[in-house]
Amino acid sequence: MVIEKVSEVTEEIVKSVAKLIPQLGVQKAPPTWDELNLLVHSEASTLLIARYPDEMGEIVGILSLTIYRVPTGIRSIVEDVVVDENMRRRGIAEAMMLRAIDLAKEAGANGVALTSNPRREAANKLYQSMGFQQRETNAYFYKF
């Protein structure tokens, strides 16, 4: 498998993301071409894709990494990790996570945060097996 950092939006990427996002189990619309373009060209965000079995293979996974500065340092967070349901249990998510961790380290972050729905049992087991620790915190969201 090959993990790539997306630098330009293509029709292939738009179609692949549209196929993968619904597999997260959330009822969100896949991003448009313009929204993906904003993500890919953001200085704070990185979109990783996984191709299988090699660089000529189809896109079977995505991951979004955001790295940003706050008064107390550089933070990073992983969002929207998804591997095609027909390609799971092949180490694809772990390979994307390891690449994201390396990118966050290179940027000077002191760690990587993420959240995961408790119903995504396999994903939670993966994160724990990689050394992620569940934080004792209250997560809040203000919707408008």
pLDDT single digits (tens) 70-87: 999 999 999 999 999 999
Residue 75 bridge partners (DSSP): 68
pLDDT exceeds 90 at position 51: yes
Torsion of the alpha carbons at 42, 103, 107 and 101, rounded to the nearest 10: 120
Given pLDDT bands bounded at 50, 70 and 90, which one contains residue 143?
very high
User: Can you give the pTM of this predicted structure?
Assistant: 0.95
What local confidence, expressed as pLDDT, does residue 29 receive? 86
Given pLDDT bands bounded at 50, 70 and 90, which one contains residue 130?
very high
Q: What is the CATH architecture assignment of 2-129?
A: 3-Layer(aba) Sandwich (3.40)
The pair of structure tokens assigned to 91 is: 């180490």
What local confidence, expressed as pLDDT, does residue 34 receive? 98
Burial class (CB in 10 A: 0-12, 13-18, 19+), 27: exposed
Given pLDDT bands bounded at 50, 70 and 90, which one contains residue 25?
confident
Q: Lowest-confidence range among 15-19, 23-27, 86-90, 121-125?
A: 23-27
Given pLDDT bands bounded at 50, 70 and 90, which one contains residue 26?
low
Residue 17: CB partners within 8 Å, gap ≥ 6?
Answer: 30, 31, 36, 62
